[in-house]
């Protein structure tokens, strides 16, 4: 723990924005020696990637929703005294796929830039997305993962990243992350809902088609990331944490209860099947369910449970559980901004 006086003198206040297919999130944090102290953490479901898989471009309505969220985040950033040069805006899966990317970039830049500094949204490749997810999750991973080969899975709206790395201590005794082989796939809860799960609840034929495509993606992952070497699995982002909340039977969404919670693969499967087969109205009544996840959580649950079953098989039964982390690419972006990277 850094003493308050030292932290105050050495802290760099940063603003990280992660703009994904389903949601846009803001983290304002003070960064000291690679340690984040949250000031503000916000999430807004804007469904930026709505229809992108079909049309190849952002819709006017999706851009309007996203720009409205950026306007609100810009006010928070100014209120908390973050200099424009300490803002990092990262756009992921959906923004890599569209023809009208320039309209999106210009709209975001106009809202966040100052007279002295221009903030340019970064449409990062999947490999960097995976590395940022690993560093963000690893920043708070439990010490029992130290020295182990950890697979971090970032399950988003338009893509899912897989990165295998190691958690170790640096010379100062802090836990640090060393990311290794990684791959980003076009497999996410929004994309798969639009592509496969059209009924309410989905039919067995729809589920089978989606599961078959998930398996094909996992075969591709295995050609780039040695999944058989994994000794522990950590899942990040809203799909994984929502499934964890369901498995725990929470009466409200409680990040402290969810963060670092480890569930057996059987428990994940049971919670996932419950969400997948429940009708929309029933999912909407769950007390921990964010309204913006109601219609896509089924496909996300199918992806997460299938991923874990595959890893269990690839490791010959060694991996029997997975942990959820509330810390992910957003934390990785903030850490990189605190170092002046990006």
pLDDT tens-digit profile of 307-322? 999 999 999 999 999 9
pLDDT score of 74 more than 50: yes
Write out pLDDT tens, residues 97-109.
Answer: 688 888 999 999 9
Q: If you classify domain 141-326 with CATH, what class do you get?
A: alpha beta
Token pair recorded at residue 184: 């980003």
Domain boundaries defined on the chain: 4-124, 141-326
Q: What percent of the chain has pLDDT over 90?
A: 65
pLDDT reported for residue 178:
80
Q: What percent of the chain has pLDDT over 70?
A: 91
pLDDT interval class at 134 (50, 70, 90): confident
Domain 4-124 CATH assignment equals 3.30.420.40: yes
Token pair recorded at residue 176: 């640090």
Q: Which of 77-81, 152-156, 164-168, 200-204 has the lowest mean pLDDT?
A: 164-168
Q: Which of 191-200, 217-226, 248-257, 329-338 has the lowest mean pLDDT?
A: 329-338
Residues contacting residue 327 through CB under 8 Å, at least 6 positions apart:
136, 137, 139, 140, 236, 259
Write out pLDDT tens, residues 245-296.
Answer: 999 999 999 999 999 899 999 999 999 999 999 999 999 999 999 998 999 9
pLDDT interval class at 125 (50, 70, 90): confident
Residues contacting residue 222 through CB under 8 Å, at least 6 positions apart:
314
pLDDT reported for residue 3:
40
pLDDT reported for residue 141:
67
pLDDT score of 5 more than 60: no
pLDDT reported for residue 179:
83
The DSSP line for 206-261 is HHHHHHHHHHHHHHHHHTTS-GGG-SEEEEESHHHHHHHHHHHT-SS--HHHHTT-
3-state helix, strand, coil in the chain (%, to 5): 45, 25, 30
Q: What is the C-alpha to C-alpha distance for residues 127 and 133, in angstroms, rounded to an integer?
A: 10
pLDDT reported for residue 321:
96
Mean pLDDT across the stretch 205-233?
96
pLDDT reported for residue 140:
66
**Average pLDDT value over all residues in the chain:** 89
pLDDT interval class at 2 (50, 70, 90): very low
Radius of gyration of the chain (CA): 19
CA distances from 112 to 71, 106, 213 (A): 8, 10, 39
pLDDT reported for residue 10:
66
Q: Which of 37-41, 134-138, 317-321 has the lowest mean pLDDT?
A: 134-138
SS3 of 72-130 = HHHHHHHHCCCCHHHEEEEECHHHHCCCCHHHHHHHHHHHHCCCCCCCCCEECCHHHHH
Which range has highest mean pLDDT (87-96, 107-116, 241-250)? 241-250
Write out pLDDT tens, residues 167-194.
Answer: 777 777 766 678 899 998 999 999 999 9
């Amino acid at each position: 723990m850094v003493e308050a006086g030292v932290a105050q003198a050495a802290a760099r206040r940063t603003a990280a924005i992660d703009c994904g297919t389903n949601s846009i999130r803001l983290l304002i944090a003070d960064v000291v020696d690679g340690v984040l102290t949250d000031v503000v953490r916000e999430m807004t479901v804007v469904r930026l990637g709505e229809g992108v898989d079909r049309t190849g471009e952002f819709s006017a309505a999706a851009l309007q929703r996203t720009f409205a969220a950026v306007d609100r985040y810009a006010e928070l950033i100014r209120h908390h005294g973050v200099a424009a040069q300490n803002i990092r805006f990262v756009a992921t899966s959906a923004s890599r796929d569209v023809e009208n990317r320039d309209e999106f970039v210009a709209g975001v830049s106009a809202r966040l830039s100052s007279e002295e500094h221009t903030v340019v949204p970064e449409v990062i490749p999947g490999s960097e997305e995976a590395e940022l997810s690993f560093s963000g999750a690893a920043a708070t991973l439990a010490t029992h993962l130290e020295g182990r080969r950890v697979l971090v899975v970032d399950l988003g709206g338009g893509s899912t990243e897989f990165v295998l790395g190691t958690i170790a201590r640096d010379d100062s005794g802090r836990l640090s992350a060393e990311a290794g082989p990684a791959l980003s796939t076009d497999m996410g809860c929004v994309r798969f809902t639009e592509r496969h799960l059209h009924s309410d609840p989905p039919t067995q034929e729809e589920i089978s088609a989606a599961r078959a495509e998930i398996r094909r993606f996992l075969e591709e992952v295995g050609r780039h990331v040695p999944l058989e070497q994994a000794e522990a699995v950590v899942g990040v982002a809203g799909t994984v944490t929502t499934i964890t909340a369901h498995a725990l039977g929470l009466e409200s969404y409680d990040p402290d209860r969810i963060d670092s919670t480890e569930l057996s693969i059987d428990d994940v499967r049971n919670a996932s099947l419950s969400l997948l087969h429940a009708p929309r109205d029933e999912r909407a009544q769950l007390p921990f369910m964010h309204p913006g996840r109601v219609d896509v959580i089924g496909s996300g649950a199918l992806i997460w449970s299938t991923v874990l079953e595959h890893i269990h098989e690839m490791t010959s039964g060694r991996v029997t559980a997975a942990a959820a982390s509330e810390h992910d690419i957003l934390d990785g972006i903030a850490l990189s901004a605190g170092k002046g990277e990006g």
